[in-house]
Amino acid sequence: VTVSVLYWRTHPFLCLLGPMELLLLSQFNVDTPLPTVFELVAQDRLGDSLHGAFKFALTSLAQSVPRLAPAVHWFDEGYLVFDGLLQHLFLSHVGATMAEHAFGLRRSGLVPTAPRNRAADAALASATSDGPSSAGGVGAGAEAPNALAGLTLVPLTRAQRVATLLLTVLLSYARRRLFDYTRMLNSTKPDDVDERRRIEAQYGAWAAAVNGVIAAVYPWVHAAMEFSNLAFMLGYLADRTPHFSWQLWATRATIRRATRNDMAAVAGSPAAQRAVRVAQLALMGIAVAFRVLDWWNTNDGRDASNTVVQDTLPAPKPPKPPAPADGVEAPSDGTCGACRRSVANPCVNAASGYVFCYPCLHQAIQATAACPVTRAPSTLAHIRRLYESSA
């Protein structure tokens, strides 16, 4: 439930379509253990959503507790360590990343299927309909047509787990840091300009050259990675490949739906249970942080004395400006600054802000081309009629 709530706050469209896919498409897509695209996109976005949620919570808290400001600066590095440890626990003991486990998915390696006779295939298919599985695999002969034709799902090897951990954690960290750094290089905001000048002054001319290379190359690298992911997604939709992304292709792995044996393996493993509890605590912590921040930003969470003072003590009127040497004293409220009588047919001089009778201001500007009170240069175009409500 917590995962659904957090995901709904950042990806409402996919959160609505994901359950619909699970309820509808899975009913007639039972011939393959591969999940739908909506399931894969949802779990892929969950990691970025959690990163953004944690960062928002810490940034909002640092505004009230200035001592936490340094933690905001090093947040990405701290989250890198936390995410690396969490994903290591899940990959080692569950056979999936934390986001994949939250959506009932598992990772499996892919190896070519050895030739077998049809009788053996039929016997193996009937014997492994829910395939014998460890925490990271589905049975040795769990084959499916189309994308998995000629391939067998096997548990992840140690090398595949290490490669998955690096691509999941370090690549996400590098992508976020390069995106922020490139945005700073291309920004015209004063703070970003000062930061660029500080870097170039500290590291010399070679820093400016490196910044130029990053600003020129990174957009193309980012576009190439996104295009490759799109190509793999289209191939996955067409059942041409079991790899949803180039990261899965690089590790020779795929993502499949969890089976009852997978769930039983997690329930019977103390290490897997510890990993799941850590993830649950992290998700509950961010959910509680959102509620606390929501309460803190409302009147109920503020100091009651400050609220009373703001509600009962109106702001004092600003003092009247001194009259210029060649002008007159500022008029009182409701008094024309030219004729010194009650304002009739009111208008305002946009050059000074004072209210006059319309005939008085029109004549004064025609005669002197200046405001009667402040002597500010004025034209007839500065006259604005005021219309008072009858209520």
Shared domain check, 333 and 293: no
Shared domain check, 350 and 274: no
pTM for the model? 0.56
3-class DSSP state of 110: strand
Q: Residue 344 is part of a domain; what is its CATH number?
A: 3.30.40.10
- CA nearest 265: which of 253, 275, 251? 275
pLDDT over 50 at 300, yes or no: no
Shared domain check, 231 and 280: yes
Shared domain check, 270 and 237: yes
Question: What is the sign of the dihedral through the CA atoms of 99, 180, 54 and 4?
Answer: negative
* Structure-block tokens of residue 359: 């005939």
Shared domain check, 86 and 222: yes
CA distance 202 to 208: 11
Percent of the chain scored above 70 by pLDDT?
71
- Per-residue pLDDT, 12: 41
Q: How many domains does the chain have?
A: 2
**Residue 87 and residue 168 in contact, taking contact as beta carbons nearer than 8 Å:** yes
More confident residue, 289 or 68: 68
Query: In which domain, by residue range, is 281 found?
Result: 20-112+146-299
Mean pLDDT computed over 145-170: 82
Mean pLDDT, all residues of the chain? 75
pLDDT over 50 at 1, yes or no: no
> E strands within the chain?
105-112, 151-154, 253-257, 346-349, 355-357, 383-385
CA distance 58 to 60: 5
